[in-house]
């Protein structure tokens, strides 16, 4: 009879369920911060900005691109008689940030992949100050879509994920941006040369508009830009028109929540190239420019080959 209590006690001990493992949690910030970080990334692609239109930053640990941004866009005034200004852009970006998560016992680094597509447009009106200076207010609207996943790390993790990390895994989100810009444009055209100068301040309020696992998020993007270009004949003739050499310079100062978000506060580019004039032919494209640009900023430098056309 003395064995029965022992058997019962042993059975009770074996039937106690094991303690559930704690899910992995991000060690810093929260879901709202992650959403705002995604929106900030998208904001770089939603404003016309030469400096960030083609940008790739590599991960120092792996050498692979941690950030890739590509933008195609432009703007033009319809005519002197109807000084309606229209601009637009489409952009693709890929950002691979890394987050640290812990369950109190073990710590894991989670590589995340954020991929976004954006489209933006603007409409403005030219107010001529004199023959060369124009003041141009612009209204802007932008739409974006981003997907987030940690598929590459899923097998490695093999842990239960909390709500914050679940948002990063296979999350989808749309974004809407509303704002405007003010541009001061100077243009001088002479037979010997052509010179352009633009000063622009852009403001965009960006918020998410739903998506799987989405929550509220809001950021404001503010950018101040300087862009200038000088063109002059080389003395050679191509396609029945002078072949021009082109010199360009741009500087972008990122303000508000964009400032320092990707590790830099400002970016500058300097470029040189040639321009072909095809206006003597019945084609839609009147000028084609090919430039090599050097980019530099806070811990950022690089070289790019640029291609542009005028209509």
Tell me the whole-structure pTM to 2 decimals.
Answer: 0.78
Quick: pLDDT tens for 187-197.
999 989 999 99
pLDDT value for 19: 43
Question: What pLDDT does residue 6 have?
Answer: 43
SS (H, E, C) the chain: CCHHHHHHHHHHHHHCCCCCCCCEEECCCCHHHHHHHHHHHHHCCCCCCCCCCEEEEECCCCCCEEEEEEEEEEEEECCCCCCEEEEEEEEEEEECCEEEEECCCCEEEEECEEEEEEEEEEEEECEECCCCEEEEEEEEEEEEEEEEECHHHHHHHCCCECHHHHHHCCEEEEEEEEEEEEEEEEEEECCCCEEEEEEEEEEEEEEECCCCCCCCCEEEEEEEEEEEEEEEEEEEEECCEEEEEEEEEEEEEEEECCCCCCCCCEEEEEEEEEEEECCCCCCCCCEEEEEEEEEEECCEEEEEEEEEEEC
Domains defined along the chain, listed by start: 20-310 (2.40.128)
pLDDT tens for 130-167 read 999 999 999 999 999 888 766 544 434 444 455 455 55
């Amino acid at each position: 009879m003395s064995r029965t209590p022992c058997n019962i006690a042993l059975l009770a001990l074996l039937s106690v369920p094991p303690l559930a493992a704690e899910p992995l949690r991000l060690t810093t910030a929260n879901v709202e911060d992650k959403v705002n970080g995604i929106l900030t990334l998208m904001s770089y692609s939603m404003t016309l900005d030469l400096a960030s239109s083609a940008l790739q930053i590599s991960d120092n640990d792996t050498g692979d691109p941690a950030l890739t941004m590509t933008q195609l866009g432009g703007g033009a005034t319809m005519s002197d008689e109807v000084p309606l200004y229209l601009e637009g852009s489409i952009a693709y970006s890929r950002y691979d940030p890394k987050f640290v998560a812990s369950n109190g016992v073990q710590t894991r680094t989670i590589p995340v992949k954020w991929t976004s597509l954006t489209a933006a447009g603007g409409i403005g009106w030219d107010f001529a100050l004199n023959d060369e200076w124009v003041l141009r207010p612009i209204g802007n609207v932008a739409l974006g879509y981003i997907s987030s996943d940690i598929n590459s790390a899923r097998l490695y993790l093999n842990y239960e994920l909390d709500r914050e990390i679940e948002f990063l895994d296979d999350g989808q989100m749309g974004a809407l941006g509303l704002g405007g810009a003010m541009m001061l444009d100077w243009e001088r055209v002479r037979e010997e040369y052509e010179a352009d100068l633009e000063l622009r301040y852009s403001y965009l309020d960006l918020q998410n508009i739903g998506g799987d696992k989405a929550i509220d998020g809001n950021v404001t993007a503010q950018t101040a830009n300087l862009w200038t270009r000088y063109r002059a004949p080389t003395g050679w003739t191509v396609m029945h028109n002078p072949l021009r050499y082109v010199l360009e310079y741009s500087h972008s100062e990122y303000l508000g929540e964009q400032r320092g978000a990707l590790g830099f506060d400002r970016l500058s580019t300097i470029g040189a190239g040639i321009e072909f004039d095809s206006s003597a032919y019945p084609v839609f494209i009147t000028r084609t420019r090919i430039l090599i640009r050097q980019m530099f900023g806070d811990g950022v430098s690089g070289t790019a080959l640029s291609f542009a056309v005028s209509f």
